[in-house]
Amino acid sequence: MVAGVCALWLLSLYVIHGVPGVVPVALAVLLLGGGLSLWALWRSGSLHQRLAHLESAAARLALIYQNAPVGIALFSAPPELRLLDANDAYLALQEPPYNQRSKALGECFAQILPRFNESEALALFEQAARTGQAVHVREFPYPFFTRGVTYWNTDILPLRDRWGTPEILLVLSDVTEEVRMREELRRLTQLQLQSEWERREFYRQLVTAVSRGKIDLVEEDALRLPGEIIGQVDIRNPEDVADFRHAISHASHKAGLSEAQAFDLSVAASEAATNTLKHAGGGLGQVAITERGVIARVEDQGPGISAERLPRVLFQPGYSTRATLGMGFTLMMELMDRMEFATRPGRTIVQLEKNRTAPAPAAPLDLLLQSADLWQSLDLPGGHPHHPDTEQQTP
């Protein structure tokens, strides 16, 4: 409009007064005014589109806010912390009567949340307002609800409204059940581990006593091969068992064992290696010289032997499954001065020790060996093992 008026005035100067050069200027003013008008129309349409887009985005955000699965609430800045708005999920987390919107809106957080000013939660809001940084806390414990201790994942975000007034946005979710389930699982796991340890300890003491100290059940971490390792064989076929036997003979000769002692160790170690090959598909054989004599070690990654089956495996001749050593264990116990044994699913280790000088016999345990009550008290799979000291004599 202004450009058109200016153009008409310039043309009137040319027509009435004959002022030269006015016509091109008037045309330029008209073109400029037209361009500005077109730009203004485009700008107006673009603003309308932007406003429509913002209104649509605001509607989507309001829908997300109201239907979010976590509690969302807007508060005024500390110290008042008055509830300005909240979604339904937040209200559902509160205790009556503040689970109702009409009761909760406008109230201070200290009124809504029991003993809020006594809790550590107030410090979190003050920190967010003071630093201008969001505060994130996972599994925050709150002990003052009537239902007991509760746990919350909490996010506290400082904001400002359109006029620059500071506000606090609270996002929280109740994770009490998750925390309690995890704690209960931890407690049950500890009980199971304790029960397993007590059971294994009982069988360990039993095996040590019945074997007169010859067999010691240990944890695999405590089972180390002492002395100088002078031979190692990867046992994958019968020829490897023969190689392991030759390594033991060489070590026995070097350590000063007698021929009979070397033969006993060779037979026992061959039995262990053969069983490893048969029941676990192979394993590793090692031989070491110690101050007292020679130790042969065989380990594999087989199924292992459960604690409750150990007495039958060790002391019942002929008892055998795919996961046990059958007659071989009885033979090894008779030939060796000492055996150390560790087993679990996925790993079994047997260490066989033969000394140059036989150790002194352990203190007699006749009372234990003659007590059939001990064997009858064991709940062993497949019944109770035959033992010569508990066998009833036939008249």
Ranges of each domain in the chain: 1-36, 69-174, 211-377
More confident residue, 315 or 227: 227
pLDDT more than 70, % of the chain:
67
Q: What is the pLDDT of residue 308?
A: 66
Whether pLDDT at 362 is above 70? no
Whether pLDDT at 175 is above 80? yes
At 177, is the pLDDT very low, low, confident or very high (cuts 50, 70, 90)? very high
At 85, is the pLDDT very low, low, confident or very high (cuts 50, 70, 90)? very high
What would the pLDDT profile of 280-306 be if each residue is shown by its tens digit? 888 999 999 999 999 999 999 888 777
What would the pLDDT profile of 155-172 be if each residue is shown by its tens digit? 999 999 888 899 999 999
Q: What's the mean pLDDT when you consider all of the chain?
A: 77
At 275, is the pLDDT very low, low, confident or very high (cuts 50, 70, 90)? confident
Whether pLDDT at 77 is above 80? yes
At 51, is the pLDDT very low, low, confident or very high (cuts 50, 70, 90)? low
Q: What is the pLDDT of residue 173?
A: 93
More confident residue, 337 or 215: 337
Q: What is the pLDDT of residue 302?
A: 83
Q: How far apart are CA 9 and CA 25, in angstroms?
A: 11
Contact 156, 170 (CB under 8 A): yes
What would the pLDDT profile of 100-133 be if each residue is shown by its tens digit? 999 999 999 989 988 888 888 999 999 999 999 9
Question: Could you give the C-alpha distances from 222 to 296, 303, 320, 363, 384, in angstroms and in order?
Answer: 16, 20, 27, 25, 30
Q: What is the pLDDT of residue 81?
A: 93
Residue-wise DSSP of 84-95: EEE-HHHHHTSP
Cα 1 vs. chain centroid, distance in angstroms? 75
Q: What are phi and psi of 350, to 5 degrees?
A: -125, 125
pLDDT more than 90, % of the chain:
36
Whether pLDDT at 61 is above 60? yes
Q: What is the pLDDT of residue 17?
A: 47
Whether pLDDT at 359 is above 90? no
Q: What is the pLDDT of residue 126?
A: 92
Q: How far apart are CA 208 and CA 352, in angstroms?
A: 15
Q: Which CATH number fits domain 69-174: 3.30.450.20, 3.30.930.10, 3.20.10.10, 3.20.190.10?
A: 3.30.450.20
Q: What is the pLDDT of residue 258?
A: 92
At 247, is the pLDDT very low, low, confident or very high (cuts 50, 70, 90)? very high
Whether pLDDT at 94 is above 80? yes
Whether pLDDT at 373 is above 50? no
Sign (positive or negative) of CA dihedral 197, 199, 202, 208: negative
Q: Which CATH number fits domain 211-377: 3.30.70.80, 3.30.565.10, 3.40.50.150, 3.90.1150.10?
A: 3.30.565.10
Beta bridge partners of residue 300, listed in sequence order: 283, 348
More confident residue, 109 or 223: 109
- The upper half-sphere exposure of residue 180, i.e. CA atoms within 13 Å in the direction of its Cβ, equals 9
Structure tokens at 3: 């450009």
What would the pLDDT profile of 16-29 be if each residue is shown by its tens digit? 445 455 445 555 55
Q: How far apart are CA 248 and CA 186, in angstroms?
A: 47
